[in-house]
Structures are given as structure tokens and as C-alpha cells.
């Protein structure tokens, strides 16, 4: 078994063996769905039954997939990466004969897969309850890999963002900013199609849209395989960026004697 596969398995099992944490996340997810159902239901009613092509049902299935993809990733992972770099723990991880960022991402992805599996099943059941069946079976089936790709892109991006701590040691609060990039340009709070056109175009050019908007769009009924390809492309780019940031940062840490 490669160390990365072992790391993925470790993350997966560790999360599955923490039922308390999982139950809090599912409870949190249920609350989000209740709130979003009320908000978007009222918005659709106020807009005459449709909003930029979204119906109440398709919008709630959008919210389900976008939220699932984001909630699968630990919200404070950027802060944790920053703490490990700032506190020097990263120097210990560098002693292992494997890529620090590669192993970290494998473990995080294992954890995310456990959360995504539980959240996807529970969230789909709740959304079905609030909004009726999904717009199409194909869309729901395609949403499953889309949320995994979205979470993977989020993890890679978190590492690229958190790696800033190699240069700015006090990067603790930057996770707030990172989170908001996924909330708005990422499409977690509001589908990008509903934004004013210039903001929509800018958001679509950024990688954050692959982390929430793409899975949401697919689950809302747009079962377009190109959306998955779009996610794969950005995922590859983000992994390369994270690797480059850590490689440069680790060289800098060695120069400083860490």
C-alpha cells in the first residue's frame, strides 16, 4: 500500500470512528437545509415561481450538493495548516520520506470522503423530504463524483492558501477570507447564475466555482459531463499549485533552520 493510500485510509477510518463529530456535522447540515429551504422557497415565491431558471425543487437540490461538497472539508483546515507551519510541527512532518503536502492532502481527502458519504445520503434524504425527488436520476448520480471532486479541489486549494504561512507566520484568521471565497464566488450561498452578469463571469473564471457551484449545478438537473471535466482540470492545477507552494515554503524553512 502506498503511503498516500494509507494516509487516505487513515483519514477515512479516523472520521468514521468519531460519531460525535459526524453527528454534529449532520445536525448542522440539517439546520442549513431548513434555513435554505425557507429562504429560497420565499425567494422563488416572490419571483413568481422561478428564479433565473431555477424552480424551488431544483434550487434546493443545488443547495444540497453545494453544501455537501463544502461541509465535507474541515472548515478551519487553512488555519490548521497555518498553525502547523507557524508552530514548527511541519518540520517534523518533513522528516518522513514522502511529500508533506501529498500525505496531508491524502489524509484530508480520506476524512472528507467519510463525511461526504454520510452527508450525501442524509442530505439527499432530507432534500427529498423538503423539495421532492431530484430533477433527474442522472443528475443525482453525477452529483456524487462532483461533490468528491469539489471537496478535493477545496482541499488542494486550502493547502495552497494555508501555505502562505511559510511567509506570513500570523495567517491564523485568513481562513475566514478563504471561506468567503467559497461562499460567494464559489456559489455556496447563491448560485452564480443569479449574480449580476459581471460578477458571474469573474466567479466562473476562478477555481472556487468548481468547489460548490459545479456540484450544485449538476444536482439541480444540469447533468453536463463538461462540468466534471472543468472540475478535474482545476483540481489538477490546484494540486500543482499547492505542491509548488509547499516546495518553495519547505526550502525557505530549511534556509531559516526550522
Residues 6+ apart with CB under 8 A from 9: 1, 110
- Determine the size of the site formed for another protein (CB under 8 A): 34
Report the nearest approach of another protein to the CB of residue 67 (Å).
12
Nearest-angstrom CA–CA distance, 215 and 199: 19
**98 interacts with another protein by CB under 8 A:** no
Helix H segments across the chain?
3-16, 19-46, 56-71, 77-87, 89-93, 100-131, 137-162, 174-183, 197-205, 213-219, 225-255
Q: Which stretch binds another protein (CB under 8 A): 44-52, 115-123, 216-224, 232-240?
A: 44-52
Q: Which stretch binds another protein (CB under 8 A): 139-147, 155-163, 186-194, 215-223?
A: 186-194
Grid cell listed for 56: 424551488
**CB-nearer residue toward another protein: 31 or 138:** 31
Nearest-angstrom CA–CA distance, 168 and 250: 14
**190 interacts with another protein by CB under 8 A:** yes
CB 72 within 8 A of CB 103: no
Q: Which stretch binds another protein (CB under 8 A): 5-13, 106-114, 153-161, 169-177?
A: 169-177
Q: Which stretch binds another protein (CB under 8 A): 16-24, 207-215, 219-227, 246-254?
A: 16-24
**CB-nearer residue toward another protein: 25 or 159:** 25
**194 interacts with another protein by CB under 8 A:** yes
**CB-nearer residue toward another protein: 4 or 183:** 183
Q: Which stretch binds another protein (CB under 8 A): 130-138, 184-192, 219-227, 247-255?
A: 184-192
- When computed from its CA atoms, the radius of gyration of the chain, rounded to whole angstroms, is 19
**176 interacts with another protein by CB under 8 A:** yes
Q: Classify 48 in phi/psi space as left (phi over 0), alpha (psi -120 to 50) or beta.
A: left
Nearest-angstrom CA–CA distance, 25 and 20: 9
- 2, 5, 13, 27: which one binds another protein (CB under 8 A): 27
Grid cell listed for 92: 517534523
**CB-nearer residue toward another protein: 195 or 227:** 195
- 5, 13, 34, 141: which one binds another protein (CB under 8 A): 34
Report the nearest approach of another protein to the CB of residue 167 (Å).
14
Q: Quick one: angle between helices 225-255 and 100-131, nearest 10?
A: 150
Q: Phi, psi (5° rounding) for residue 134?
A: -65, 155
User: Could you list the residues that contact another protein (CB under 8 A)?
Assistant: 20-21, 23-24, 27-28, 31-32, 34-35, 38-39, 42-43, 46-47, 51-52, 170, 172-174, 176-177, 179-180, 183-184, 189-190, 194-196, 199
Amino acid at each position: 500500500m502506498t503511503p498516500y493510500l494509507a494516509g487516505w485510509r487513515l483519514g477515512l477510518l479516523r472520521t468514521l470512528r468519531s460519531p460525535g463529530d459526524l453527528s454534529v456535522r449532520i445536525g448542522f447540515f440539517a439546520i442549513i437545509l431548513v434555513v435554505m429551504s425557507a429562504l429560497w422557497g420565499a425567494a422563488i415565491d416572490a419571483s413568481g415561481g422561478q428564479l433565473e431558471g431555477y424552480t424551488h425543487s431544483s434550487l434546493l437540490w443545488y443547495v444540497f450538493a453545494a453544501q455537501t461538497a463544502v461541509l465535507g472539508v474541515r472548515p478551519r483546515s487553512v488555519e490548521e495548516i497555518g498553525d502547523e507551519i507557524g508552530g514548527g510541527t511541519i518540520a517534523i512532518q518533513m522528516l518522513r520520506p514522502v511529500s508533506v503536502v501529498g500525505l496531508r492532502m491524502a489524509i484530508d481527502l480520506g476524512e472528507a470522503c467519510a463525511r461526504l458519504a454520510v452527508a450525501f445520503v442524509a442530505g439527499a434524504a432530507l432534500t427529498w423530504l423538503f423539495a421532492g425527488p431530484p430533477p433527474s436520476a442522472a443528475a443525482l448520480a453525477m452529483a456524487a463524483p462532483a461533490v468528491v471532486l469539489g471537496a478535493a479541489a477545496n482541499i488542494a486549494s486550502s493547502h495552497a492558501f494555508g501555505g502562505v504561512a511559510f511567509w506570513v507566520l500570523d495567517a491564523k484568521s485568513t481562513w475566514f477570507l478563504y471561506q468567503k471565497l467559497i461562499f460567494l464566488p464559489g456559489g455556496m450561498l447563491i448560485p452564480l447564475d443569479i449574480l449580476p452578469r459581471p460578477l458571474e463571469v469573474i466567479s466562473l473564471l476562478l477555481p472556487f466555482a468548481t468547489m460548490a457551484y459545479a456540484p450544485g449545478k449538476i444536482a439541480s438537473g444540469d447533468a453536463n459531463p463538461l462540468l466534471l471535466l472543468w472540475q478535474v482540470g482545476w483540481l489538477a492545477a490546484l494540486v500543482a499549485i499547492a505542491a509548488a507552494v509547499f516546495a518553495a515554503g519547505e526550502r525557505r524553512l530549511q534556509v531559516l533552520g526550522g
